A = this chain, B = another copy of it.
């Protein structure tokens, strides 16, 4: 059944005994084309399943209608959910999306960037790897007029760029506030890798909530970890070694870390005696399967972050916003309280 003569405008034109331009204009509903002609062309196009060749159009129009996305990986639900927002908005606006994972490695990020540059994407959305300090591979895009929107991850020293960020300060503030309101005075903070920009924003949210509510701060209540299980256990052990500063609540950087913390606390019976109430960033459905779930989750609204990023990008592509008029969009977090009445097991 394979048809080897490709159905092009020329093919249709020959069949209809008219010129290529008439066929093109008929298909694009030019008003100068006779209604009957237009109808004949469109019928023929339908019958032969004519599909315009995008490469040719792109070459002519000097754009690809492709948007590139570079992100650390797709196993993290934050990014996967953000893709949902990006893809949906892109499709609605006639853009395709090419997703490339950096696996949090600079080398792979550079490769992805170059690949997307060769593909002549119309714009780029990027959540940088945790090792990205140098931005030349990303700056090349702006140098030739292709807009770039940084989302979620972005080092504070990278000033001149468009960014869409979670208001992680506000999220952490609210979480801390909830714990204070529930009577806690010894609230531990378990932070994430220090290379990730918003680690500090979250810490500031925590600190400010304490200050605003006159809860004394102690550095004994603060520890940092990365996504390594061992390090998290070590960090949380350190939080519980000070007898006069024994935490009764915990704010954790992100879900896997939160889960590791909860698991550890359960093993030491802290949870079973209802001693520690936890909150963390992230809001996956797995929470409902935990025997000692966190009392609340900080929902970062990834879909909304993604949608804001691509919405801004498309405005930049359409030159509705000047590429050098750098924008900063903050997306608020939402505190999701899980069945408080149930309490810990």
A98 touches which one: B98, B117, B140 (CB < 8 A)?
A: B98
Cβ of A145 under 8 Å from chain B? yes
| Interfacial chain B residues near A91, Cβ < 8 Å | 111, 115
> Contacts A100-B87, A259-B289: A75 and B64 contacting too (C-beta < 8 A)?
no
Copies of this subunit: 2
Q: Is the CB of B115 within 8 A of A96?
A: yes
CA–CA, A266 and B81, complex, Å = 30
CA–CA, A45 and B120, complex, Å = 17
Give A residues with C-beta under 8 Å from B: 1-4, 6-7, 49, 51-56, 58-59, 62, 64, 66, 74-75, 77, 80-81, 83-84, 87, 91, 96-101, 111, 115, 117-120, 140, 142-145, 256, 259-260, 262-263, 266, 285-286, 288-291, 323
Minimum distance in angstroms from A240 CB to a CB of chain B: 19
A sample of 14 inter-chain contacts (CB < 8 A) reads: A1-B142, A2-B144, A49-B140, A54-B118, A55-B58, A74-B84, A84-B101, A91-B115, A96-B98, A263-B288, A263-B289, A286-B286, A289-B290, A290-B291
Among residues of B, the one whose C-beta sits closest to the C-beta of A291 is B291
Among residues of B, the one whose C-beta sits closest to the C-beta of A289 is B259
| Interfacial chain B residues near A49, Cβ < 8 Å | 140, 143-144
Among residues of B, the one whose C-beta sits closest to the C-beta of A73 is B84
| Interfacial chain B residues near A119, Cβ < 8 Å | 54, 96
CA–CA, A91 and B7, complex, Å = 30
Name, among A3, A98, A99, the residue most crowded by chain B CB atoms within 10 Å (CB to CB).
A99
Minimum distance in angstroms from A125 CB to a CB of chain B: 14
Q: Is the CB of B286 within 8 A of A266?
A: no
Q: Is the CB of B120 within 8 A of A53?
A: yes
A64 touches which one: B55, B97, B99 (CB < 8 A)?
A: B55
| Interfacial chain B residues near A286, Cβ < 8 Å | 259, 286, 289
Name, among A96, A97, A142, A290, the residue most crowded by chain B CB atoms within 10 Å (CB to CB).
A96
CA–CA, A83 and B58, complex, Å = 27
Q: Is the CB of A98 within 8 A of B101?
A: no
> Contacts A59-B56, A98-B98: A81 and B75 contacting too (C-beta < 8 A)?
yes
Q: Is the CB of B55 within 8 A of A3?
A: no
Q: Is the CB of A55 within 8 A of B120?
A: yes
